[in-house]
Amino acid sequence: MKLGLGLYKHMLTAENYAFARQCGATHIVAHLTDYFADGPRLPGQTAMGWGVTRGDRSVWSRDTLARLKSEMNAAGLEFAAIENFDPGLWYDVPLGGPRRDAQLDFIAQIIRNMGAVGIPVMGYNFSIAGVAGWSAGAFARGGATSVGFVESDALGLDPIPNGMIWNMVYDPEAPEGTIPPVDHETLWANLHAFHDAILPVAEAAGVQLAAHPDDPPMPTMRGHARLVWQPRFYDKMFADNPSRANRAELCIGSLSEMSEGDIYADVDRWSRDGRVGYVHLRNVRGKVPEYHEVFIDEGDVDIPRILSILNRNGFDGTVIPDHTPQVTCDAPWHAGMAFALGYMRAEIDRLGRPA
């Protein structure tokens, strides 16, 4: 099992690579689409909006991916995975819209590029509303700021405006109005179309597709169905397409927030079945309808037990800290990550030693 750090595109710097190494990480998971991208805030963009995406294709080229990988390697790190497709390049895949086939063609090219460069996992979130309904507060130990969710807050959220998916605006010229609601049956059909087109490409390229569960895990959000909002929907996803490239971006925090399931039995089953692409590790207190994110060593999840189950079942992929509470200091994000990485480094090392 490998310890990694997730970095957004603007954070893929020599300084952050050194930070990752110094905290004991050996692998990097890169988001290649920056949230809060430059550009104007638009009418209709909600407070949860993450900015505008222009659907930049160049970052996904074989040359760019190879350059990023060589920069990581030069810093003593491996390129473990890419996380999330750019909403501007794939919005009609979850929506089942008219540009789907053309967008699937480009996604297939991304997967082939990853295979050629040697990046083994593509993480994705098959979600229309994305994250919504969170609020921030002093929810973690010592009054550290983190995020929480209360179901009643999420019920009054606005519908999604035209030209937006997953909290990002992909068409600033879109007409007034909101996108038509997508129900569960349609969303699953859209997932199957994506899997039918891309899993064979991924298998041939030696790349795994790893699906993140819904966060927050609600059946619907902003009027749109969600996919993996209970653990049993991962089982459905794997049963519907048994390709060995069909995997989970196993988010322990999101799974712990779900009202059903036994997280230890579920992680045991999926890791025994070889369904784990890579792991997001964080801790949380509570479940839907109300929960709060906390530090990795507080909250409801026995994190050492999760790592022990993964280790026992021979999981040899990457585990990264998910979001963490902000530590009160001049570098709240880095301090939060350093704390989580140190905790995880110690646990992974302990598992590697003879009992």
289 preceded by a cis bond (ω within 30 of 0): yes
Q: Which is nearer to Mn ion, 190 or 283 (CB)?
A: 283
Helices 263-272 and 303-312, packing angle to 10 deg: 20
Residues 321-340, mask of contacts with Mn ion (x by CB under 5 A): -x------------------
Q: Looking at 66-74, 125-133, 183-191, 245-253, which segment touches Mn ion (CB under 5 A)?
A: 245-253
Phi, psi of 18 (to 5 degrees): -60, -40
Identify which range of 143-151, 232-240, 298-306, 317-325 contacts Mn ion by CB under 5 A: 317-325
Least Å distance between CB 323 and Mn ion? Answer: 7
Size of the site for Mn ion (CB under 5 A): 3
Question: What is the nearest approach in angstroms of Mn ion to the Cβ of residue 250?
Answer: 9
325 vs 142: CA distance, rounded Å: 10
* Nearest distance from C-beta of residue 35 to Mn ion, angstroms: 14
**Between residues 163 and 253, which has the closer beta carbon with respect to Mn ion?**
253
214 binds Mn ion (CB under 5 A): no
Q: Specify whether the CB–CB gap between 245 and 215 falls below 8 A.
A: no
Pairing, β 318-321 against β 290-294: unpaired
DSSP 276: E
Pick 103 or 126: Cβ nearer Mn ion: 126
Q: Which is nearer to Mn ion, 78 or 83 (CB)?
A: 83
Per-residue mark of binding to Mn ion, 275-304 (x: CB under 5 A): -----x------------------------
Token reading at 246: 């069909």
Q: What gap in Å lies between CA 203 and CA 64, rounded to an integer?
A: 22
322 or 347: whose CB is closer to Mn ion? 322
Phi, psi of 317 (to 5 degrees): -90, -160
Least distance to Mn ion from the beta carbon of 310, Å?
16
Tokens of 317: 């992929």
Q: Does the protein bind Mn ion through residue 251 (CB under 5 A)?
A: yes
Q: Is 195 in the site for Mn ion (CB under 5 A)?
A: no
Nearest residue to Mn ion on Cβ basis: 251
Q: Which residues contact 169 (CB under 8 A, 6 or more apart)?
A: 42, 45, 49, 51, 52, 53, 163
Would you tell me which residues interact with Mn ion (CB under 5 A)? 251, 280, 322
